[in-house]
Chains A and B, each alone.
Chain A
Amino acid sequence: MNRIKNKVAIITGATSVGIGRETALRLSSEGALLIVTGRNEEEGKNTEDMVINQGGKCKYIKHDVSSEENWKEVIQETINIYGSIDYLINNAGQFWIKPISETSLDDFKQICSVNIDGTWLGMKHCLGKMNDGGAIVNVSSLMGQMGLPEGVGYCASKGAVTSMTKSVALEAAKRKIRVNALHPGVIWTTMVGGGEGGDENLKNFFIQETPIRMIGLPEHMADAILFLCASDYITGADINVDGGRLADGSMGSHAE
């Protein structure tokens, strides 16, 4: 398989057992050359080692996506190592829920700085350096398209990601750079209290309220991200990989 052989991809938020790491392994298995970023150095190195151990090329760079200086360094180092950029996977994100009355303005600004500013900065600084025909995948959320009680910060920030994706898609179209939003449903990672050793009751609750009666896994997202990287004519689109939850439109209606 070599749908994206020798293409250079930057993947943010690749420093834990989750979508970023799984995407790194998937894109590498198709021949991509990787830069993986995130704040946790130990886990970032682990991701780098895992990719190299399966025969891929990968370099971890410590990165806070809300820092413009950090972004400039990541892009410069990518150019230094590989010479160009083809794909940007804006995956790093923050999630928490809290009643709006108990959410401070600093809380709200914090989640927006990671989810909105982080995505915006990545696109702003990468686009000028990307090869024509490249692709940006912004990992938004099902919650960028619907409401979640006590999720005002998360929903607002992901809604912004979904919306700016379309604007940048139009701006980048003249260079045939594709920009799309991926909308995961509940993915069993530490972000939602899942992953290895996660609460089985919680997992079963999520399964029962999802039409396809499955829990989403990072590898499901990685497959969709690969699809979006390799597809030449999809841009400005919203791709839901959510087991049918948005189609169902009634979260929790299946839960017993």
Chain B
Amino acid sequence: MNSLKDKTIIVTGGGRGIGAAACKLLADEGANVIVTCRTTDEGLSIEKDILSRNMSAKFISHDVTEEESWQSVIEETLTLFPQIDAVVNNAGNYNFQSILDCTHQSFKSLINTSLDGCFLGLKFGTEAIRRHGKGGSIVMMSSVLAKIGAVNMSALSAAHGGVKLLAKAAACELGPEKIRINSIHPGLVDTYTDEEFKKNYPESLDSLKYEKDNIATIPFQRKASCDEIAEAIRFLVSDESVFMTGAEITIDGGLIAQ
């Protein structure tokens, strides 16, 4: 499998969940994968996993909300590989709180990671891709919450709605340079065990019950696997989607078709 041979791709939030699955799949398809995240042990673990299969990966510590951190990731990547072909803006935060329970600080924190982080990835990714002038692909991880409302998910909806239209605006602006921007909209994804979720998102424990109660409402009666979302990422960074920009891939088992 070599649909991404010699492409260099930055994946944010690459240490766990969808990001980790994407890093492994893109590497297996021949890409040089830059695994970025804040948690060093997780990022190094994914790098090690990929290297052990004789594929190409490098972990770089990264806070997607900081411009300086983006600058460092781009510069370090370009010391290792000749050019950057794609950026997968996957890093995001989670919040499951009513509007009254969600503090302004929590709201801003969610927006900062999930929307501002995508904006900075778009900005720095575009600059990096422009350096070689051959075009490239930027993938924006949004959600079905960019298309429908849901109880206790106001902050997530606001962030993901912003990401969706940020992608479309960028697609119009950057199309002439062959820089493609598309968004992915997962429904429920089987990302973490309950224990991992409790550790990662202690403020949003009510979400565990919500997700279990709502699986029955998904026409496919199950969550997506991280690998299924990763496959859409692979498609969008590959040359199989060269005429695709400003588009959305919804992967939700039919959730919002009803």
Least Cβ distance of A60 to chain B in Å? 26
Inter-chain CA distance A91–B52, complex, in Å, is 44
> Separation in Å of the A211 CB from the closest CB of chain B?
3
Knowing that A214-B242, A236-B250 touch, tell me 4 more A-B residue pairs with CB under 8 angstroms: A173-B219, A232-B228, A242-B244, A243-B243
Say whether A223 contacts B176, CB under 8 Å: no
Are A227 and B250 in touch, CB under 8 angstroms?
no
- B251 contacts chain A at the CB level, 8 A cutoff: yes
Are the C-beta atoms of B251 and A244 separated by less than 8 Å? no
Tell me whether A220 and B249 are in contact (CB under 8 A).
no
Which A residue's beta carbon lies closest to that of B250? A237
Residues of B within 8 A of A235 (CB): 219-220, 253-254, 257
In Å, the complex CA distance between A170 and B256 comes to 10
What residues of chain B lie closer than 8 Å to A239, measured between beta carbons?
247, 249
**B interface list, Cβ under 8 A from A:** 1, 167-168, 171-172, 175-176, 178, 180, 219-221, 224-225, 228, 231-232, 235, 240-254, 256-258
A243 touches B245 (CB 8 A): yes
**Contacting pair A214 B243 (CB below 8 A):** yes
Interface assignment of A234: CB less than 8 Å from any CB of chain B: yes
Min distance, Cβ A123 to any Cβ of chain B, angstroms: 15
Alpha-carbon separation in the docked complex, A230 to B250 (Å): 15
Contact B220 A224 (CB under 8 A): no
Which of the residues B176, B235, B247 comes within 8 Å of A242, measured between beta carbons?
Answer: B247
The residues of B that contact A220 with a CB separation of less than 8 Å are: 241-244
Q: Cβ of B172 and Cβ of A244 under 8 Å apart?
A: yes
Q: How far is the CA of A89 from the CA of B51 in the complex (A)?
A: 40
A234 touches B249 (CB 8 A): yes
Chain A residues near B167: list those with CB within 8 A.
247
Q: A212 contacts which of B175, B219, B252, B258 (Cβ < 8 Å)?
A: B175
A1 beta carbon closer than 8 Å to chain B: yes
A170 in contact with B244 given A211-B172, A244-B171, A248-B172 (CB within 8 Å): no
A212 touches B243 (CB 8 A): yes
Within 8 A of B (CB), among A206-242: 210-214, 216-217, 220, 223-224, 226-227, 230-242
Assess the A247–B249 pair: CB atoms within 8 A: no
